[in-house]
Chains A and B, each alone.
Chain A
């Protein structure tokens, strides 16, 4: 009895003390630090270089911070850099990208969310087969489909032209191939498998009884979608938006194939600026142009990172 009370006084009590500088901690945080520096180094060099003038760059000290900070390369990249015959900088590509991005994101998310909702809550005969086929689409390398889509866009553009001419014989040629709208359609189609999967899984996780209650309350397909499902699904819409914005903004291949020089998206134009072989290589302008192009996805990610993680956890993992 006495022994026990002595032990109680001197033995371990309360939270177990943790050593801050234990060997595990040093290894873990040391490794993280090194890896972090390794990945941030290129970004540092880009920012530093973009703020230097050409004479300073020629000195060759790429790690040193700029002696004389100049924003001239940024201005030049945005509004003066030449690609081909156009010398209005990246701004043209930026607005082209916006014109491609906004309708693509809105259209693909609108269609995919209704798809996912129907597949999750209004199961019809063969809906599982339909879903499997759609998901299968996500595993086909899209390079395979580039040429068929070129033909498809060209032919359907011609088809639409002849349809319009039934009513107005003087109507100009309607072209999908080489137009922004053609590219919007392509982006919408290629976003469909993964977005539908995302939305279906999210809507499946919404309790079925909620859906049943709404049906008893007399809400139909669209009533339930707009009044019950949509307001509950903000996180997954943010996730879909981030996926689409980054995917479409960073796209190069579709942009270069399905548009023409006047409607090239920013990525294609960036490539044309950086890879131009005439004259002096203006590293500072190139760096500034690259940073400008990467800014949009970065801002989107930082602005909605928290919702992104939440939505990914809610929608993509489950089901």
Chain B
């Protein structure tokens, strides 16, 4: 597949502050790529660079094989959706949708046609003659998406488009976005700090930290095989449990805990030597009850705190002096102070070199 967007050795600094450092990224045609990271990691900055709203300090950006590093935003063949919707308040919905086309001197009949089509796809036809002030948050965001849609562009850029919506609407619009992507098959680059959005929408996720991509991979890879401690800790809610210990002859040891790592897929099996390591175990990979008895490693913990969430229950406990979280069935009768048998399958965990923080 041809690359839709290519970023080559991109640098961006504001004065002496380096926001993006030597960043490379290839995005395939029709791919849904999510840039994920905590605030200040440079994900929005990267998006603004792709859009041409920020001038890069060094490096190149290609869209559809064309070098657009010096091109104006409107010449790049992109449409952008912003967190605050950024609708022009004094124009009607129709005016908002057609503004870009008018600037591009598209013939009137075609503007009508494109606006009508976008309005149909997004189901905002009854709103066309309203002003943005008379719309709800969800409707506004739909109009904002429509504004990108009418431009008939190759690449859609989303800058946290759902962050200003309430929780329920966010879920609805998330599904709609996914449907839209299936329908249009455009390249979409989506910036968010919400990992659920990232996991559900993305073909590939780029987890970013201080201007660098920590891991680029499918949601499955990111979740199950995080490349380093940062990604492992960042992805997943509640986050992974970590135990620092020692790897000795293929076995994790910490105090009284011995976890044989048989069945664990090492990144590079030939280079695994004894060293200080950190093991990460997802709360949902810890089993309780009857399943615990069948697990390779079994132990008992005392419940410190219970967070019932309806569908499941999150239990906070202490394991080998570390805070340890695991999920239980929502109906499970647990209260503070209970002692629970847990089972762990170390092969499902993730091993990291404690000093380099990279996955083993």
Contact = CB atoms under 8 A, between A and B. Distances in A.
Interface of A: 207, 209-210, 212-219, 223, 227-228, 231-232
B53 interface: yes
A217 B102 CA distance: 9
Contact of B74 (A209, A216, A227, A228): A216
19 contacts: A207-B84, A207-B86, A209-B83, A209-B84, A209-B159, A210-B86, A212-B73, A212-B86, A213-B80, A215-B73, A216-B51, A216-B73, A216-B100, A217-B74, A218-B72, A218-B103, A219-B74, A227-B99, A228-B88
Contacts of A215: 52-53, 72-74
Interface of B: 48, 51-53, 72-74, 78-80, 82-84, 86-90, 99-100, 103-104, 147, 151, 159
Given A217-B147, A218-B104, A212 B80 contact: yes
Contacts of A209: 82-84, 86, 159
A218 B72 CA distance: 8
Contacts of B72: 215, 218
A232 B89 contact: yes
Q: Considering the complex of A and B, which 5 residue pairs feature the smallest CB-CB distances, nearest first? A: A218-B74, A217-B100, A218-B103, A209-B86, A231-B90
Nearest to B95: A227
Contacts of A207: 84, 86
B99 A217 contact: yes
Contacts of B89: 232
A215 B72 CA distance: 8
Given A210-B88, A212-B53, A232-B90, A219 B82 contact: no
Contact of B100 (A210, A218, A228): A218
A215 B53 CA distance: 8
A207 B85 CA distance: 10
Nearest to B153: A216
A212 B144 CA distance: 13
A214 B89 CA distance: 12
Contacts of A232: 89-90
A227 B96 CA distance: 11
A204 to B, nearest CB: 16
A212 B295 CA distance: 55
Contacts of A217: 74, 99-100, 103, 147, 151
Nearest to A228: B88
B99 A212 contact: no
Given A209-B83, A231-B90, A232-B90, A216 B53 contact: yes
Contacts of A218: 72-74, 100, 103-104
B19 to A, nearest CB: 16
Nearest to A217: B100
A212 B80 CA distance: 9
A212 B103 contact: no
A212 B78 CA distance: 13
Nearest to A206: B89
B179 to A, nearest CB: 24
A227 B78 CA distance: 21
Contacts of B159: 209
A266 B79 CA distance: 56
A56 to B, nearest CB: 56
A60 B74 CA distance: 76
B80 A216 contact: yes
Contacts of A216: 51, 53, 73-74, 78-80, 100
Contacts of A227: 88, 99
A295 to B, nearest CB: 34
A203 to B, nearest CB: 14
Given A212-B80, A213-B87, A218-B72, 17 more contacts: A209-B86, A210-B86, A212-B53, A212-B86, A213-B86, A213-B88, A215-B52, A215-B53, A215-B74, A216-B51, A216-B74, A217-B100, A217-B147, A218-B100, A218-B103, A218-B104, A219-B99
A215 B54 CA distance: 11
A213 B51 CA distance: 10
A213 B74 CA distance: 10
B147 A213 contact: yes
Nearest to A231: B90
A214 to B, nearest CB: 7
A190 B57 CA distance: 39
Nearest to A230: B90
Contacts of B88: 210, 213-214, 227-228
A219 B72 CA distance: 10
Nearest to A234: B90
A299 to B, nearest CB: 28
A216 B73 CA distance: 5
A210 B89 CA distance: 9
Nearest to B84: A209
Contact of A213 (B48, B52, B82, B90): B82
A210 B87 CA distance: 7
B74 A212 contact: no
A227 B95 CA distance: 11
B115 to A, nearest CB: 13
B186 to A, nearest CB: 15
Nearest to B54: A212
Contact of A219 (B48, B80, B103): B103
A212 B90 contact: no
Contacts of B104: 218
Contacts of B99: 214, 217, 219, 227
